[in-house]
Structure 1
Amino acid sequence: MTLNIGMFGAGRIGIVHARSIAGNNRSKLVAVTDLVPQAAHSLASEYDAAPMSADEILADSNIDAIVIASSTNTHVDLIEAGINAGKAVFCEKPVDLDLSRAKACLDIVAGQDRPVMIGFNRRFDPNFTTLKSAFDAGEVGKGELLSITSFDPAPPPLDYVKVSGGLFCDMAIHDFDMACWLFDAVPETVNATGACLIDPEIGKAGDIDTAVITLRFDDGRIATIRNSRRAAYGYDQRLELLGERGLLSAGNVLENTVIKSTLDGINSAKPEYFFLERYMRSYGIGWASFVDAVLDGKAIPVSVSDGVNALAIAEAAGLSLAQGRAVELDPILKGVV
């Protein structure tokens, strides 16, 4: 059976997902919609799909699943619309910028049986999955300290910053999900510090561009996350997990594997420039897991609940930054803060 897909959003991330759909022999992109008709037509024509309206996609009984790659403020409404139309749903992160809306969406999803997956693609990076497999197998014993480095090569456009939800909801949210996934738990407290060191205009827009977040789990384990909107040498994505019997590390993926050893020193290539280069494989692997869940009944690897947890951590980080203190996560998840 082939899974017929309707795509919502024909921008940069929609194009990435279209490649993953086309690269899987059990899925086919059949329809595309976008607020910019020309963008929908362009993407649809590349994959022999049809440009349609959102309502047409939802009403088409030949479309089995939808991919939500549109702006974040559309995610919850489209998840609910997709469910109501009887379709499986793959939605880009985050679920929403508003935690209460995301939690309400979780309640709706919990009451139906169609698969709904959130697109935290880094879980599917082969290096990170290998690290987690080694950790889960007990190769370094109990995990004690997790260190996540995530530096972008350059800040995003200011217009994007203003609608992104900020560094915690847009950028660090990937790392919050990674910490929960690797430790198989949500943190007890969140402590964030940050500054605007790169572009004063980001600060004027109410955001930061540099941050360190510490997550403390109820058994004492600690995760530290370092974020920056600028690394002059490229996209820096590294993990270290210290356990009682050793250390697991996942380094950067480089532009090439050539090492130059001369009298002047030893040099290697820079990290791949940005997420489109660094994580393209992970998008395809993640998509395959969604197809397997829909067609074969396998478990959804990233749930709406996972998305809500990451968003709650982002909200706690924002509160911690504003108040200069560690913030307990449980009251935020329960909506009593």
Structure 2
Amino acid sequence: MSNVLTVGVIGAGRIGKLHVDNLKLIPQIKIKAVSDVVVDHLHDWATTNEIDVLTTNYSDLLNDGEIDAVFICSPTNTHAAIIKEAAQAKKHIFCEKPVSFSVEETHDALKAVEAAGVKLQVGFNRRFDPNFKKVRELVQTNEIGQPHVLKITSRDPQPPSIDYVRASGGLFMDMMIHDFDMARYIMDSEVVEVSAQGTVLVDPAIGEAGDIDTAIVTLKFENGALGVIDNSRQAVYGYDQRLEVFGNKGVATADNCIPTTVQVSTSEHVVKEKPLYFFLERYTQAYVEEVKEFATACLTDQPVTCSGNDGFQAERIAKAAKESLLSGRPVRLEESYVTNG
């Protein structure tokens, strides 16, 4: 098996360019091609990054026999179709979250991946954050005993544009889906029931676009534990990312990352720095680690860390949360799409 993974990147927006930057850091990876619907503004960027092929047709990447894997960084509504085509072309696949807005479409895409025998990793980058990985390790090694309660706080520093909100699939599918994945990852247990409350407190335009900007979701896990997630589209002090697992032998907490640990104490105040501003700063190393582990999985034929089924299960939880919000009652996961992918 080759010791170099040749990749193509589909979609050259913010996340696509971020992956290109990170892929360049990994000696075992060669970036051969990038596709986007518009490439006129990308020629200098492609040259700077030593990208051989720049095209408006992603099929050029799928038909290229030298390309081993593709990164799907295009809009969510294109993901499932491209996954199926990439699988048929025998390319390994890294796909940004969510796989789709429909659990049925995601299920069909996963079946295509399974039939083709290729690898699919979903871009839940927070699994690769060293703080959250450490908490998972403490749960796995029984350091805090049997988990009883999981608490996740995830708040953005500013709301996205209204155009983004309209196309995002909603707060549960776009934002809290990271936390749904984190809940399963940390607790190593499936979610069996979801109860959601949501409202519009940040920007009335978000409500007018059919979404919410503030939410609390409670979870029941198969192992009997409980979870609570709170999201807000605007935390004025920065990107608020905290997690806690409480068990019968203790508690494990992951706090916000800050630029320095310096704290100034005087007679007037005690001050430390604000959290890192947003996800690009907060999860810099996690983004690198996720693509590094994907490359290793492809080159050594090992399982990926975050599978298509992990993406599927997070989408099921997001769908149940939306059902709970609209119905005003808890929703058990077997009430939604039940195939386990």
- TM bucket (normalised to shorter chain) is over 0.9
Report Cα offsets for 1:158-196 as digits up to 9, x if no partner: 000000000000000000000011111221110000100
Report whether the alignment pairs 1:146 with 2:150.
yes
Report Cα offsets for 1:196-230 as digits up to 9, x if no partner: 00100000000000000001013321110000000
The amino acid that maps onto 2:4 is T
Alpha-carbon distance in 1 for matches of 2:136, 2:280: 23
Alpha-carbon distance in 2 for matches of 1:106, 1:114: 10
Contact 2:177–2:318 (CA under 8 A) maintained in structure 1: yes
The amino acid that maps onto 1:51 is L
Alpha-carbon distance in 2 for matches of 1:5, 1:20: 13
* Structure 1 residue matching 2:135: 3-state secondary structure: helix
Alpha-carbon distance in 1 for matches of 2:191, 2:6: 38
Alpha-carbon distance in 2 for matches of 1:42, 1:128: 37
Alpha-carbon distance in 1 for matches of 2:195, 2:151: 15
Report whether the alignment pairs 1:232 with 2:217.
no
Report whether the alignment pairs 1:330 with 2:329.
no
Contact 1:72–1:94 (CA under 8 A) maintained in structure 2: yes
Tell me the equivalent position of 1:112. Answer: 116
Distance apart, 1:42 and its partner CA:
4.4
Alignment gaps of 5+ in structure 1: none
Tell me the equivalent position of 1:192. Answer: 196
Distance apart, 1:298 and its partner CA:
1.6
Report whether the alignment pairs 1:74 with 2:98.
no
Alignment of 1:209-228 (within 5 A): 209-228=213-232
Report whether the alignment pairs 1:33 with 2:35.
yes
Distance apart, 1:40 and its partner CA:
4.2
The amino acid that maps onto 2:12 is A
Alignment of 1:1-337 (within 5 A): 1-49=3-51, 50-52=53-55, 53-334=57-338
The amino acid that maps onto 1:126 is P
> What is the CA RMSD across the aligned residues, in angstroms?
1.1
Alpha-carbon distance in 2 for matches of 1:23, 1:116: 21
Report Cα offsets for 1:239-265 as digits up to 9, x if no partner: 000011000000000022221122222
Distance apart, 1:39 and its partner CA:
4.5
Q: Identical aligned pairs, as a percentage?
A: 43
Alpha-carbon distance in 2 for matches of 1:41, 1:333: 44
Contact 2:173–2:318 (CA under 8 A) maintained in structure 1: yes
Contact 2:189–2:223 (CA under 8 A) maintained in structure 1: no
* Structure 1 residue matching 2:337: 3-state secondary structure: helix
Matched pairs, number: 335
Alpha-carbon distance in 1 for matches of 2:44, 2:164: 23
Alpha-carbon distance in 1 for matches of 2:207, 2:108: 31
The amino acid that maps onto 2:202 is I
Change in Cα spacing, 1:314 to 1:42, as seen in structure 2 (3 Å) is: farther
Mean CA deviation greater in 200-209 or 298-307 = 298-307
Distance apart, 1:43 and its partner CA:
3.8
TM-score, reference length from structure 1? 0.97
* Structure 1 residue matching 2:184: 3-state secondary structure: helix
